[in-house]
Structure 1
Amino acid sequence: MAIINVTPDSFSGDGLVGRRDMALRQAEQAIADGADILDIGGESSRPGAEAVGLQEELDRVVPIVEAFANAGVPLSVDTVKPQVMRAVASAGAAIINDINGLREPGAIEAVAATDVGVCLMHMQGEPRTMQSAPHYRDVVTEVRDFLCLRADALKSAGVATERILVDPGFGFGKALVHNLALFADLSRLRDLGYPLLIGVSRKSMLGQITGQPVAQRLAASVAAAMLAVQRGAAIVRVHDVAATRDAFAIMAAIQSHQQNS
């Protein structure tokens, strides 16, 4: 899943708000590099980010969805707003990626009225304050229970199980110790029975471990993506599609050789 940020304040420095042509070129390049899904976001969810108005978010994401509706890869839209969910589903999006786990009033109903897939993510708090003092007694159990409850709420609204993905939300209201605990125990989340989406590309947890700034976290991001897949991730959300694809090709070749030996 390739990240296409149509925002001015992406933590990774790749926001393209107001530069539609550049966003389109970035999406085209991601497809050429081997992206299976494009994930388009018009509202930053970095720590400390301010909320974006409804019309502004629509103006940022709908034109990109319309431009790539027939590009041959599914389009995901990263949003918490039910109105945006309905608009992008009509424009051709295949997945709603909600960092708030569809907790906004009307969000479940908006998704249930469509046939799109939906990714439920765990977040403690909200972007402006989520990293101030995250606290858990048992982060893996608490995240697992939250994802179960949100998936059950979706299914109660008539959403089929096969439409649901889950994401533990690395870095969303979690300190490094919580992120590491989740990563070490991804199998418990995989065993929920929903495809597992993991997004750690360029995140601060990688910087804390390696000491590298955002612009120099490629190696760490690729390593984390490979480890996530080995632990059961079905989808990895990344900035650097080509490098991640190369790493997966190596891993797949070795695994294939082992199986055929």
Structure 2
Amino acid sequence: MFLPQLKYPLHTFSGRSIDFSRRVAVMAVVNRTPDSFYDAGSTFGLDQAVNASLHAVDAGADWVDIGGVPFSPGPALSWREEAERVVPVIAKLRAQSDVVISVDTFLPEVARAAIDAGADVINDTTGFSHPQMAQVVAETGVHVVITHSLAEPRTIYPRPQYQDVIGEVREYLQRKLTHARETGISGEKIIIDPGHDLNKNTRHTLDLTAGFSAIAELGYPALAAVSNKDFIGETLDLPKQERMLGSMVAATMCIMGGARVIRMHNIPESVQTVRLIEAAAGWREPAYQIHNMSEVNPPAHR
């Protein structure tokens, strides 16, 4: 198991602190969109989105990521309409839980509205595509997830080409880290994400999964967003609703390579996966120990 030397292991959010040198955070995905990648709009309603968020917390999620616009190509949505989707969910969830809350957006106006409603993190899957986003993060002092992607937001990027996908993603993230720090974002507020499947084909994403340690070596907590993605479906020839087991394997590979946040749909299974890895690493105790513990489970009389 690769243990990255984190520059800032302890991260403090509004209601919780996470020591990423000894923890892997499970981030639950809740999309308030009618055309979301995985749930096909089942959490588009406000009550459904809030309930899904609270159920994820009850199932052990450390973090809830709320989105109002999918990453996939499509027509632009005004920032006001996007904010109207995510802000009420954030506000209601914050009123009921101290869970870490992120908003999945690339628009600075949405980011500000989400922060005002109680969001702890801006999850920008476009790598600061909007020039004002880094400034918003710096001014408000929230966390940010810096993600590798190449296309303009919600546009097609046909047949992405890399000579060295791991090296190129790493170099991109290093540039963005430099930009973030120069803008005034504190290092203890930064998470990095190599962007599984984002402007990458299945071979590229498999290489990133197997070589995740090269991303974790940058010294910032690294996020792996692998849940039910196309690279799993194409590798195993499975539709979206049958990719849960592959998602757990991919998440485990990334954690063993140094990932410290996993972005997932299947929360109970993800929490079990993380807790077993943490226990094997010596970061947490088993729930109980009876097996071959003679003082607890004495041998039967012969």
Fold match (TM-score > 0.5): yes
Is 2:220 the counterpart of 1:194?
A: yes
1:101 counterpart residue number: 127
Partner of 1:68: 93
TM-score by length of 2: 0.81
| 2:260 paired with 1:224 | no
Counterpart of 1:19 in structure 2 is: 45
User: For 1:247 and 1:146, how far apart are their aligned partners in 2?
Assistant: 30
Query: For residues 144 and 135 of structure 1, what CA distance do their matches in structure 2 show?
Result: 15
Alpha-carbon shift at residue 138 of structure 1 (Å): 1.2
The correspondence for 1:159, drawn from 168, 185, 205, is 185
Q: Does 1:129 align with 2:156?
A: yes
CA contact (8 A) 1:5 1:14 kept: no
Amino acid at match of 1:55: R
Alignment-derived partner of residue 210 in structure 1: 236
Deviation at 1:228, TM superposition (A): 1.2
User: Partner residue of 1:34?
Assistant: 60
2: CA distance between counterparts of 1:219 and 1:77?
A: 27
Task: Describe the superposition over 1:214-235 as per-residue Cα deviations: whole angstroms up to 9, x where unpaired.
Answer: 0111111111111111110010
Q: Which residue of the partner structure matches residue 147 of structure 1?
A: 173
- Summarize deviations over 1:1-50 as a string: whole Å, max 9, x none: 0000001111113434651111111011000000000000000113x333
Q: 2:74 aligns with which of 49, 58, 71?
A: 49
Q: Secondary structure at the match of 2:218?
A: coil
Taking the aligned partners of 2:150 and 2:35, their CA distance within structure 1 comes to 21
Q: 1:105 to 1:246 in 2, by over 3 A?
A: same
Say how many residue pairs are matched.
Answer: 257
What letter corresponds to residue 110 of structure 2 in structure 1? V
Higher RCO (C-alpha under 8 Å, 6+ residues apart): 2
* Alignment match of 1:88 (pick from 108, 114, 128): 114
Tell which structure's C-alpha radius of gyration is larger: 2
With normalisation by structure 1, the TM-score equals 0.93
- Looking at structure 2, the residues matched to 249 and 83 of structure 1 have their Cα atoms a distance apart, in angstroms, of 37
Distance, in Å, in 1 between the alignment partners of 2:242 and 2:43 is: 23
| C-alpha distance in structure 2 between counterparts of 1:49 and 1:205, whole Å | 21
Deviations 1:27-83 (A, max 9, x none): 11000000000000000113x333322111010000011111241111000000010
Percent identity of equivalent pairs = 35
Residue 252 of structure 1: how far off its partner (Å): 3.4
Q: Distance in 2 between matches of 1:38 and 1:95?
A: 10
The corresponding residue for 1:179 is: 205
Query: Which segment is superposed worse, 15-24 or 199-208?
Result: 15-24
- Give RMSD over aligned pairs: 1.8
Q: Is this contact kept in 2: 1:197–1:234, CA < 8 A?
A: yes
Q: CA deviation at 1:248?
A: 2.4
2:32 counterpart of 1:6: yes
SS state at 2:103 partner: strand
- Post-superposition offset of 1:246: 1.6
Counterpart CA distance in 2 for 1:20 and 1:179 is: 33
Stretches of structure 2 lacking an aligned partner (at least 5 in a row): 1-26, 286-302
CA distance in 1, matches of 2:82, 2:155: 18
Q: Does 1:58 align with 2:83?
A: yes
Secondary structure, counterpart of 1:119 in structure 2: strand
Stretches of 4+ aligned residues off by more than 4 angstroms: none
Could you tell me how far apart the structure 2 residues matched to 1:72 and 1:194 are? 23
Cα 1:104–1:249 shift into 2, 3 Å = same
